[in-house]
Amino acid sequence: MTDEVVEIARSEMDQAVTAFRHELSRVRTGRASTALLEGIQVNYYGAKAPLRQVAGLAAPEPRLLVITPYDKSAIHEIEKAIQASDLGLNPMNDGKLIRVPIPELNEERRRELVKHVRKMAEDFRISMRNHRRDANEMLKQMHKDKQITEDELRAAEAKIQHLTTEHIEALDKALGAKEAEIMEV
């Protein structure tokens, strides 16, 4: 009975680590990539829509992204969404398309990226702790309903804590590797 709860927690934590690694892959340190803009949501006729659904994205040069809106009336909303993102990009609009120059990574920009990556890591750590809390609450409810004994509850909570520690260490390891990649000159 407790093994099911532990497995659910393990699965959720594994998914969180995978999602974190995916988010890290979107933080580009070298050349321009359309993946940089993947998470941006545009206010399109009163609803939030992913940028990829309202515009074509291209990286014609190593330091330039070009965004071609499918609907020209959405060009200002796309521009606002990019400026509002915490990517530190400054889009230029010529009425038909948006050019986004990717700044050279100077020391200040590298530090900003490291801060951004650390903030992402902290958000995922919080997610891990939430999964731990949810699993522990399920276990306590099972104990309250007399489905498991006090000893089984304590053993399962210890397993959940061990899982949490392992997964947070995996996050920290991925974070350290990305920080080193960003700070390389």
Which stretches of the chain are DSSP H helices? 2-26, 51-54, 75-84, 107-144, 150-183
User: What confidence category does residue 38 fall into, taking pLDDT thresholds of 50, 70 and 90?
Assistant: confident
Residue 68 has pLDDT above 90, yes or no: yes
What is the Cα–Cα distance from 62 to 39, expressed in whole angstroms?
Answer: 20
Give me the half-sphere count of Cα atoms (radius 13 Å) on the Cβ side of residue 8.
Answer: 16
- Parallel, antiparallel, or unpaired for β 92-93 and 98-101? antiparallel
Percent of the chain with pLDDT over 90: 52
Confidence bin at 141 (pLDDT 50/70/90): very high
pLDDT tens-digit readout, 92-119: 988 889 999 887 778 887 888 899 999 9
Reading the block at residue 9, the tokens are 């927690």
* CB contact set of 178 (below 8 Å; sequence gap of 6+): 24, 27, 117
pLDDT at res. 31: 62
pLDDT above 60: residue 185: no
Domains of the chain: 2-26+106-183 (1.10.132.20), 34-101 (3.30.1360.40)
Whole-model pTM: value is 0.67
Predicted pLDDT at 24: 86
Ramachandran region of residue 62, left (φ > 0), alpha (ψ -120 to 50) or beta?
alpha
Chain-centroid distance, C-alpha 61: 26
Q: Which residues contact 82 (CB under 8 A, 6 or more apart)?
A: 37, 40, 67, 89, 91, 98, 100
DSSP secondary structure, 119-173, as one string: HHHHHHHHHHHHHHHHHHHHHHHHHHTTSS-HHHHHHHHHHHHHHHHHHHHHHHH
Q: Which two tokens stand for residue 99?
A: 């050019």
